[in-house]
Every structure is written in C-alpha cells, then in structure tokens.
Chain A
Amino acid sequence: MRVGVVTFPGSLDDVDAARAVRLAGAEPVRLWHADQQLSGVDAVVLPGGFSYGDYLRCGAIARFAPVMAAVAAAARDGLPVLGICNGFQILCEAHLLPGALTRNRHLHFRSRDQRVRIESAGTAWTNGYEPGQEIVIPIKSGEGCYVADPATLDELAATGRVVARYAGGNPNGSLRDIAGITNQAGNVVGIMPHPEHAVAALTGPSTDGLGFFTSVLKHVAGAAA
C-alpha cells in the first residue's frame, strides 16, 4: 500500500508524516507541490507547516499548487486525504472541507500535548478508534481556531462529521471545541493537532496518533476487497 505525502515549499511535517506512514506498515511516497499527478497512491497526506509561508492566509496559496488539482479531483472520487494542521487549512481553502481556520482566539501560538476525543470512527482515517475514545497528540499552531456558520456547525454535528473535539480545555477557541472534521463521504479528514507526531514512544507523548495511519490502511484494504 502506498501513501503519498505532499511537500509544499514551507511544509515542516512531511518527514514525520512519511515516518508515520512507514510505522503503520505502508510505503510513503514523496509528492511535490508541482506534481501534476499522484503516482497512483492509495491515499494522500497534506502535512503541517507553513506552505508558501502562509503569506496571504494559511493554505490560501497552496490551494493553487498544481498537485492540489489532482488531490481535489481524486478526493471527489473517494481517495482518502488527510490534512494535518496546515493541511487542514489547505483543505478548507480548497473547499474540500467546510469552514475556515482563523487566528487563535487568545492570539498566542499553542504548542502542547493535547487531549482529543475521537467523535467519529466512521471515516477512512479514524476507523481504528472507538467513538468517544480520548487520545493525546501534540498541537502546535497559531491559526487553529475552527469557524463556520451555525448552520454548517449543526449539520456537521448532526451528520457525524465532527471527527474530533478538544478535551480538557480548548487550546484555540475553536467553535464547539472542534479539532477535526470530515466531508460527506468520510474520505477527506482535516485535523488541527498532529497524529503524526505521536507514533513512537521515543518522540511523542503517546503512540495514539498511529491509529490514523493504520485506519487508512484498513480502509484501503477493505475498499480493494
């Protein structure tokens, strides 16, 4: 199984994402922002960082990278796509996910280990978790405050599309404590905290994040069967 990890100019967490893919048992495939196609990968990760410097708005310029046209088209056809942190911002800017991520309410950059409750285990990236399961993964962002209009928030909640909520304190003012969401089909997931930084005891606060990457392998294997 091959999982693509996109590197944009300014991506920071692409190497950790590729490592998480490898530890989960898949082959990471490096994709470049200028690639026109996805090399036949089974899933794609948009990693954290500051793509194109986030000079305009976070993710706003990355959205127009050549690789994103291929990612958007494949996502609409059901390819599993996970956007972490900056990747989540890119997915919102690309309208593959609703809402937007704005400046943390308190204006401070937050870097800490964060308790997160998995709300939906029905997605391509969270099927290995139990609904309601709490995990601890790092968060490190200055623009992680999720906002959407009340109708969108109600719809997300009613249709099980809130993938994760912050537990034990909201680190950024995200509406309804939302840490991650998914699209209607459940193949595209965006999450603000970093599962790829919690995949090995030596380097993370837990190994709780590995479940995102093992989940997608299970999902792809199931889809192929």
Chain B
Amino acid sequence: MARVVVDVMLKPEILDPQGQAVAAALPRLGVSEVTSVRIGRRVELEVEGTPDLAKLHELADQLLANPVIEDYSITVPEDSP
C-alpha cells in the first residue's frame, strides 16, 4: 500500500471567499501579520501496489479537482508505509 496525497487549491486568480473570511477573523486573535489566507483541500489516497502516476493525474484532473478553477499537485510521501 502506498499513500498518495493530492493537494487541490483554487487557482490564484479565483476569489476565495472562505479564505477571506478566515483572514478577516484573524485580527480577533490579535494576529495582524497574516496578509492572505487561501483554503484548499488535501486528499489522501491509499493505493494498492505501486501508484500509477498517469492514472492519478487523470483521477485528479477529472474528479478530485476542477481544472477550470483549481490547480492540483500529487505527492507520494517517502514515509509511505
């Protein structure tokens, strides 16, 4: 089994109102040095055998992310069991 991590983020030019709402709440915690917050999604996949990167890209491109508004990156962490 290998663990594969797919990180999905809104493209930089797409407004992230959720991130903005969090950024707006930070001063209530006394935090003033954070200038931007953007929120994405981390998807962890458990894959049997050796992960097929091409297949993973297809999966990320078609389902996990919407390439019209989101970018994704795929990583296979070293400490994968």
Chain A interface (Cβ < 8 Å from any Cβ of B) = 56-57, 60-61, 64, 92-93, 98-100, 102-107, 145, 147-149, 173
Contacts and interface: CB of A to CB of B under 8 A. Distances in A.
Interface stretch (B25-33, B45-53, B60-68, B73-81): B60-68
Contacts, number: 35
Nearest to A152: B68
B68 A103 contact: no
A56 B63 contact: yes
B contact residues, range: 10 to 19
9 contacts: A56-B64, A60-B66, A61-B63, A92-B68, A103-B17, A105-B15, A107-B18, A148-B68, A173-B15
Contacts of A106: 17
Nearest to B18: A103
Contact of B69 (A100, A104, A107, A173): A100
B21 interface: yes
Given A92-B68, A105-B17, A173-B17, 14 more contacts: A56-B63, A56-B64, A60-B63, A60-B66, A64-B63, A98-B68, A100-B68, A102-B10, A102-B15, A105-B15, A106-B17, A147-B14, A147-B69, A148-B68
A145 B69 CA distance: 12
Contacts of B63: 56, 60-61, 64
A99 B69 CA distance: 8
Interface of B: 10, 13-15, 17-18, 21, 63-64, 66, 68-69
Given A92-B68, A147-B69, A148-B68, A102 B14 contact: yes
A61 B14 CA distance: 22
Contact of B66 (A57, A145, A173): A57
Given A60-B63, A64-B63, A104 B68 contact: no
A104 B15 CA distance: 10
Contacts of B68: 92, 98-100, 148
